[in-house]
Chain A
Amino acid sequence: MSNNEQTNSHSHFPWSHLIGFGLSIFLTLLALWVGFASDFSLRTIMIIVVILALIQAAIQLLMFMHITESDSSRIQVGTILYAVFIAVAVVAGTIWVMSFGMHNMNM
């Protein structure tokens, strides 16, 4: 049982949680800085902050939710990756498809 390996660390100080929390705060502040204090174009800003958000989501999944700790971790990771693929397809696909009518409308 692969469960056994990670469990011995439980009596220790919860470093992974603390590091995850610190990184999350750092990434949030970095996204704020990129958004308000940098000179990048809107497009560049959005690409950077979305990447920062994805990193922070991964930190939550790995360091807080321990997605890889159980015996079915492969199924869990596979499910979440598949769901992320669906989400990206839905969001990017919708924006792409709807962009074709944009010039006919007054924004």
Chain B
Amino acid sequence: MESVEYSPNTPLEYQSETGRLNILGFWIFLGAEIALFSTLFATYLVLVGRTAGGPGPGELFEISGVLIETFLLLTSSFTCGLAIHYMRNHSLKGLFLWLGITLALGLGFLGFEIYEFVHYIHEGAALTTSAYWSAFFVLVGTHGAHVTMGIAWIILILIQLKQRGLTPDTTRKVFISSLYWHFLDVVWIFIFTAVYLYGMVM
């Protein structure tokens, strides 16, 4: 596999064996992440209704805040895809611009989520209030922790891009972090559906 021929059109991140294996390895990691989140979803869904006499989701969830978070993250997933598009057209400027927008939207999402959590705690629904809220904060909080991690990761990659430019190494890192970022939106789709929609419709 050493001297595989590739056309000059092959994206930089796929041009080395290491790059290809890293990307494949990351897909396998994402498979494990799906399994991890499925256990948190299972726990949450079993504990729906176990509010121990405290507030329930229907009383606290607000559609406007949830929609803002959803569209911030969805749009950031889109702009992250555009960043990869520009990277593959060898446009470092376009990559910086769209990754920067992605980060800003991600930070906006995180801000709204922190505000939402603080709001719930003020309303008397904290991690220790009931089994239901424990499951809620662990599930949504784990996703939020992933987003935080993704933002930090992408910032570090941006610094490296600034220093080294577009190389097979840096493009691979950008591409893998973009997979991670899209994946966070995929998880959010299910949080939006199983936690917020379900909680408000119930």
- Contact residues of A with B, CB < 8 Å? 1, 3-4, 7-8, 10-11, 14, 17, 20-21, 24-25, 28, 31-32, 35-36, 42, 45-46, 49-50, 52-53, 56-57, 60-61, 63-65, 67, 70-72, 75-76, 79-80, 82-84, 86-88, 90-91, 93-95, 98, 107
B81 interfacial by beta-carbon distance below 8 Å:
yes
A88 to B190, CA, bound (A): 12
How far is A67 from B88 in the complex, measured between Cα atoms in Å?
Answer: 16
- The interface residues of chain B lying within 8 Å CB-to-CB of A64 are 77-78, 80-81, 182
**Cβ–Cβ contact B74 & A3, under 8 A:** no
Which single member of B9, B37, B197 contacts A8 (CB below 8 Å)?
A: B9
Complex Cα distance, B85 from A84, in Å, reads 27
**Segment of B42-50, B105-113, B160-168 engaged in the interface with chain A:** B42-50
Query: In whole angstroms, what is the CA distance A14 to B2 when docked?
Result: 32
User: Does B11 belong to the interface (CB within 8 Å)?
Assistant: yes
Which of A31, A71, A87 meets B38, CB within 8 Å? A87
Residues of chain B from 175 to 200 with CB closer than 8 A to chain A in the complex: 178-179, 182-183, 185-186, 189-190, 192-194, 197-198, 200
- Counting CB contacts under 8 A, is B10 at the interface? yes
User: Nearest chain-B residue to A72 (Cβ)?
Assistant: B24
Can you name the residue of chain B whose Cβ is closest to the Cβ of A77?
B27
Distance to closest chain A CB from B138 (angstroms):
15
Nearest-neighbour CB distance to chain B for A43, whole angstroms, equals 11
Chain B: residues with Cβ within 8 Å of the partner, total of 58
5 pairs across A/B with beta carbons < 8 Å? A17-B78, A64-B182, A70-B24, A87-B35, A95-B42
Contact flag A86-B24 (CB < 8 Å), given A17-B81, A57-B190: no
Measured in the bound complex, the distance between the Cα atoms of B187 and A57 in whole Å is: 8
B136 contacts A by Cβ under 8 Å: no
Contact assessment for B24 and A60 in the assembled complex, using a CB-CB cutoff below 8 Å: no
Is B156 interfacial (CB 8 A cutoff)? no
Most A Cβ at <10 Å: residue of B30, B32, B67:
B30
Asked if B152 lies at the interface with its beta carbon under 8 angstroms from chain A, I say no
Complex Cα–Cα for A1 and B4 (A)? 8
The chain B residues found within 8 Å of chain A, CB to CB, are 4-7, 9-11, 14, 20, 23-24, 27-28, 30-32, 34-35, 37-39, 41-43, 45-46, 49-50, 63, 67, 70-71, 74-75, 77-78, 80-82, 85, 88-89, 178-179, 182-183, 185-186, 189-190, 192-194, 197-198, 200-202
The reply to whether A107 and B49 contact each other, CB–CB distance below 8 Å, is yes
Q: Which of A10, A20, A50, A79 contacts B193 (CB 8 A)?
A: A50
Since A20-B81, A64-B80 are in contact, a sample of 9 more A-B pairs with Cβ atoms closer than 8 Å, ordered by chain A residue number, is A1-B6, A4-B6, A21-B75, A36-B63, A53-B192, A57-B189, A70-B14, A91-B42, A91-B45
B81 touching A3, Cβ below 8 Å: no
Q: Is the CB of B70 within 8 A of A42?
A: no
* Residue among A10, A91, A98 making CB contact with B9, cutoff 8 Å: A10
